[in-house]
Chains A and B, each alone.
Chain A
Amino acid sequence: MTEKPVPAASLEDWLACDHCDALLHRRNIPAGAAAVCPFCGSVLLRSKRRAAQRTLAFSVAGLLFYVPANFLPIMSFELLGNDAFSTLYGGVLQLWQQGYWWMSFLVCTCSMVMPLLALVVRLILAIAMYSQRFGRWHRPLLRAVHSVSEWDMLEVYMLGILVAFIKMSDLGTIHLGVALLCFVGLLISTLGATLSFDSHACWEQLDRAVRAKRVAKRHRDVIRRLV
């Protein structure tokens, strides 16, 4: 047991647990490992290997899959010579037309808007991490990353597709469409981008970049005054 250390003015090498408020010494953890709170067991931080490169790759791949997955037919249903097909976008539109605007809004948010935002925001941040160029405008993006992913529910949608498929295969004939493959691709890329992104490292790099900019500006001012 250590003597009761009281954190000094600088809190750089301290961590607090989100869930139990325990104050902990920050230690360097090996890449790919996670630091877990010894008191409540929640993950404090996870250091990711090659975070910038992997996030970049996954989010670009996800964006390529995005449009076909959302607008091409996922599956089609045939009964007595008639057929209809379903797309992600079509479902949202149909619910809206039937007057269920609140459901339509929710499905649209969780299966179309948030997945897109999650990919775009991670792509922008990964580019910034990769090129080490950060601006003030990166802060709101980095702050939003977590809450955007909370409402990104593609994996639940995938299960919904499965259930709908099995339920309807009894009633008529179902053909799977091209978009199903794209959807699986989109799902895997979104999960990959979410898992490989390292928000702790990103905040640290952003801090460092902002500090460096401030120092550079001060130097420039001094030089200007001297000249």
Chain B
Amino acid sequence: MAIQANGQPLRAMKHGIAQCLHCHRLLHLRNIPRNQRALCPRCGGDVSFRKPQSIARTWAWVITAMVLLVPANVLPVMTVISLRQGEPDTIFSGILSLIDAGMYPIAAVVFIASIVVPVLKLVGIIVLLLVVQLKLKMSPRQCTVTYRWIEFIGRWSMLDLFMISILVTLVDLGSIASITAGAGATAFAGVVVTTIIAVSSFDTRLIWDLETSRE
């Protein structure tokens, strides 16, 4: 471990060292002009000190996700027709009907995967963005742990989409019973993808840079 006299770690960027995020190779990098790119000599990927325009890109994806969240919850995601009866279900009414049927654990799983996870993810990434932009004094270590959690839980929102994909073929009995997807599912798929990209375009090292600049 390399620690400075004040107990702070050495930061790679301070020593002109950049890390290739594709292959983790370190290299000495001078400031590159705006119109040029630095390529990793080992894997050929783009190298920079920080992810380029991380804050702006993350905001762009977050806002897209928030806009898509509205149709995803308002429009129906799935229609179950049994003996010519049935009406479209939104994400929320689907959960309510699971509760009505007494399937509490499944209702909880679907509720967590399709409502709690996307909202928590968006709130979390917005908090991290604000920490960087408003230079809030939060423990950078805790922020990084939060980021890792957000990164991990993101994929589980795909649950509802996979379930719909299974159900549309499983219950395909013509006039007796059938299940079709709904427009809300497309919007929800958009939410899942945009939040995943938003999280991956955020650079946690920006939070640690605040510490360095305060010194």
Contact = CB atoms under 8 A, between A and B. Distances in A.
B146 to A, nearest CB: 11
A77 B200 CA distance: 39
Interface in B98-145: 98, 101, 103, 106, 109-110, 113, 140-141, 144-145
Interface in B137-189: 140-141, 144-145, 147-148, 155-156, 158-174, 176-177, 180-181, 185-186, 189
Contacts of A216: none
Nearest to B206: A21
Contacts of A77: 170-171, 173
A142 B43 contact: yes
Contacts of B12: 16, 21-23
Contact of B26 (A15, A74, A76): A15
A6 B16 CA distance: 11
B28 interface: yes
Given A103-B161, A168-B171, A23 B9 contact: yes
B1 A38 contact: yes
B25 A203 contact: yes
B37 interface: no
A2 interface: yes
A150 B172 CA distance: 32
Contacts of A45: 24
A23 B10 contact: yes
A85 B106 CA distance: 22
Given A2-B3, A95-B181, A106-B161, A42 B169 contact: no
Nearest to A80: B176
A110 interface: yes
B26 A16 contact: yes
Contact of A163 (B5, B24, B163, B190): B163
Given A21-B13, A100-B181, A207-B42, A11 B165 contact: no
Interface in A109-124: 110-111
Contacts of B82: 171
B100 to A, nearest CB: 11
A227 B9 CA distance: 56
Max chain B C-beta neighbours (<10 A), residue from A20, A21, A79, A161: A21
Interface residues of A, number: 75
Contacts of A104: 165
Nearest to A12: B26
Interface string A1-22: 1101111010100111011111
Max chain A C-beta neighbours (<10 A), residue from B12, B21, B44: B12
Given A20-B208, A23-B12, A106-B161, A164 B43 contact: no
B34 interface: no
B106 A163 contact: yes
A86 interface: yes
Contacts of B186: 100, 102-103
A90 B106 contact: no
24 contacts: A4-B2, A4-B4, A18-B21, A20-B140, A23-B12, A39-B9, A42-B148, A82-B174, A84-B171, A84-B172, A86-B166, A92-B165, A100-B185, A102-B189, A103-B189, A106-B189, A153-B155, A156-B162, A157-B158, A159-B156, A160-B160, A160-B163, A164-B166, A171-B177
Interface of B: 1-5, 7, 9-13, 15, 17, 19, 21-28, 42-45, 82, 98, 101, 103, 106, 109-110, 113, 140-141, 144-145, 147-148, 155-156, 158-174, 176-177, 180-181, 185-186, 189-190, 192-193, 196, 200, 204-205, 208-209
Interface of A: 1-2, 4-7, 9, 11, 14-16, 18-25, 38-42, 45, 74-77, 79-80, 82-87, 90-95, 98, 100, 102-104, 106-107, 110-111, 139-140, 142-143, 146, 150, 153, 156-157, 159-161, 163-164, 166-168, 170-172, 200, 203, 207
